[in-house]
Amino acid sequence: MPGQEHNGHQSRYRFPALEAILDISMAAEYLRHQVDKACAPLDINGGQYAILRLLKRAFPESMSRTEIVKNLIEKTTDVTRQIDSLEKKGFVERIRVKEDRRLSLARITPSGMEVMEKVDPLFFAMLSEICKTIDEDECKQLSMLCKKMYASSSDETR
């Protein structure tokens, strides 16, 4: 029932699962905004940070767009645009594959590596701010609950 009390918490919705889904979505949006804010001083956004993080991990190897999308936590349709923007900033270079002219690979540049070194302290400061709101045990509990939720789904649905 709307307004029904659960564990001392006044529920806004008839189904607690709906409230949980909406709250998870709002928290995810808040966290995306915090990541964007942490990356902003270096003229990149959270999506570009995620791509650079993958390319840094793969270095000195390069990755195709398909590999990048496959390894991103947040699946997005604008990976090509994000890579284009990173290339214009000099953080990523594109490598054409001779055997298949349609395929290009992305590799992080020395400038991209420098940006990643500079963004880490900003990112960790953002994490410290979040930990002022929820403590380590609550983070672990939240993580466990989220894993429990998505572990119940098959790999095809993720």
86 CB-contact burial (10 Å; exposed 0-12 / middle 13-18 / buried 19+): buried
Residue 25 lies in a domain: yes
Residue 93 lies in a domain: yes
Range of the domain at 55: 5-143
Residue 36 lies in a domain: yes
**How many structural domains compose the chain?**
1
What tens-digit pLDDT sequence spans the chain (158 residues)? 444 444 555 667 677 888 888 999 999 999 999 999 999 999 999 999 999 999 999 999 999 999 999 999 887 778 999 999 999 999 999 998 777 767 889 999 999 999 999 998 998 999 898 888 888 899 899 889 888 887 876 554 44
Does the predicted model carry a pTM greater than 0.75?
A: yes
Residue 35 lies in a domain: yes
Residue 154 lies in a domain: no
Taking phi first (over 0 means left), then psi (-120 to 50 degrees means alpha), and beta for anything else, what does residue 66 get? alpha
Residue 22 lies in a domain: yes
Residue 104 lies in a domain: yes
